[in-house]
């Protein structure tokens, strides 16, 4: 991402976005309006630190939560240490944790031949995102599934919605968003499942992992409960086999 400062002029081109996320890479560039024939050195004012005179008219770094704040630059001719430009107008950055993508689908229950609309939203709304759309694909074992990009979204889409025409089978979807160069990604959204009123081999193959997982979970829970019950009974028998508890228990019975 590139932000541009200009000094010696009140005009400053604003960046595309100032809402940043932890781990994004940013480049700040300082330019001198009308000073193309002069060799300049640059000074930077950043939150909690200064970068004193340097030959580089840019600063590149990955932002963290501590990067929130105001940024300014100024310049002076390389051979004149007594004069400098005024400070540029400040650019204020706000840095948040890596955002999550949130997927919604409409409708959630499909009738035969109906179209499906996927919508993807980024937490802490900001600009510059491209959206990537994924469909769940069951593996050969039928016990889990992976995700593959939907057609047309390999490079992402500018639109935050994606329409699937004539969708009739049960399926699962998720999304994420990316921006910048190198591209910075949000977390994946949680999977969202869409159910079809009709039945087909494809819908059965998709729901098999869910059913298998549910049955396995119930079976394991029952085994754990039985083991816990057996342990409790065994512990109870060991306690009452001790002479002290036997005599106490006998007196209570009398």
Superfamily of domain 2-96, CATH level 4: Immunoglobulins (2.60.40.10)
pLDDT digits (tens, 9 = 90+) for 205-221: 444 454 445 445 565 67
Return the residue matching tokens 């600009």: 127
> Does residue 32 or residue 24 have the better pLDDT?
24
Cα distance between residue 8 and residue 215, in whole Å: 71
CATH 2.60.40.10 range(s) for the chain read 2-96, 101-207
**pTM score, whole prediction:** 0.69
- Which residue from 18, 156, 33 is spatially nearest to 2, judged by alpha carbons? 18
Question: Is the pLDDT reported for residue 148 higher than 60?
Answer: yes
Residue 235 pLDDT greater than 70, yes or no? no
Check pLDDT > 80 for residue 222.
Answer: no
Between the two ends of the chain, the Cα-to-Cα distance in Å is 87
Question: Which of these ranges, 18-32, 135-149, 216-230, 238-252, has the smallest mean pLDDT?
Answer: 238-252
Q: What fold is seen in the domain 101-207?
A: Immunoglobulin-like (2.60.40)
> Which of these ranges, 19-28, 37-46, 242-251, has the smallest mean pLDDT?
242-251
Whether the per-residue pLDDT at 176 is higher than 90: the answer is yes
Rounded percentage of the chain residues whose pLDDT exceeds 90: 37
Distance of CA 138 to the CA centre of its chain: 24
């Amino acid at each position: 991402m590139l932000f541009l400062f200009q000094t010696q002029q009140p005009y400053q081109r604003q960046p595309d976005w100032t809402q940043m996320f932890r781990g994004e890479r940013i480049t700040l560039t300082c330019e001198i309006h009308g000073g193309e024939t002069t060799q300049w050195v640059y000074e930077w004012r950043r939150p909690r630190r200064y970068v004193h005179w340097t030959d580089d008219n840019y600063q590149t770094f990955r932002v963290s939560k501590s990067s929130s704040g105001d940024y300014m630059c100024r310049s002076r001719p390389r051979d004149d240490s007594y004069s400098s430009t005024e400070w540029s107008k400040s650019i204020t950055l706000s840095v948040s944790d890596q955002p999550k993508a949130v997927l919604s689908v409409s409708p959630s229950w499909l009738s035969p031949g109906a179209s499906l609309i996927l919508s993807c939203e980024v937490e802490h709304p900001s600009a510059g995102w491209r959206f990537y759309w994924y469909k769940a694909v069951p593996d050969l074992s039928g016990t889990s599934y992976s995700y593959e990009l939907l057609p047309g979204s390999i490079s992402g889409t500018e639109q935050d919605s994606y329409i699937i025409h004539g969708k009739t089978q049960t399926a699962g979807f998720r999304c994420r968003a990316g921006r910048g160069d190198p591209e910075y990604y949000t977390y994946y959204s949680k999977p969202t499942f869409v159910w079809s009123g009709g039945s087909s081999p494809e819908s059965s193959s998709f729901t098999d992992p869910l059913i298998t997982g549910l049955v396995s979970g119930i079976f394991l829970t029952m085994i754990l409960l039985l083991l816990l019950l057996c342990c409790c009974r065994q512990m109870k028998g060991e306690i009452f086999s001790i002479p002290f508890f036997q005599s106490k228990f006998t007196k209570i019975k009398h």
